[in-house]
Amino acid sequence: MKQITIVADDKVGLLADISYILGKARVNIDAISVEVHGGKAIISLTFKDDKKAISLLANINVESLYLLSRHGGFSLDAVTVSNPKKAAKVLADYLVKGE
């Protein structure tokens, strides 16, 4: 079993939408936890078939992640992903671009 975490704007029906997408593709959720912080929903899901779940939800694989700094409830991370353009689009509201 593997876990994936989704961070998205908290809104009514978000969990229902995720569950619907997975259920329609016959992907079983083995465990789930949800927290809301600062208007963001943090949804952790555990699956036996994590590859199928990831392809349905984002199709972006995180290849490496480094915590560079943490301060005041925020963190600065460096991430290498399989699909940088798609990841940039998905994470647009959270990216800080260097010059």
Q: Where are the domains of the chain?
A: 1-57, 60-99
3-state secondary structure 57-70: HCCCCEEEEEEEEE
Residue 33 parent element (H or E): strand 31-37
Could you please state the CATH topology (level 3) that the domain comprising 1-57 is classified under: VC0802-like (3.30.2130)
Give the pair of three-digit tokens for residue 17.
């939408």
Q: Per-residue pLDDT tens for 64-86? A: 777 788 888 777 777 777 888 87
Q: Which residues pair with 4 in a beta bridge?
A: 45
* Amino acid 96: pLDDT: 64
**Exposure of 53 by Cβ count < 10 A (0-12 exposed, 13-18 middle, 19+ buried)?**
buried
Q: How large a percentage of the chain has pLDDT more than 70?
A: 88
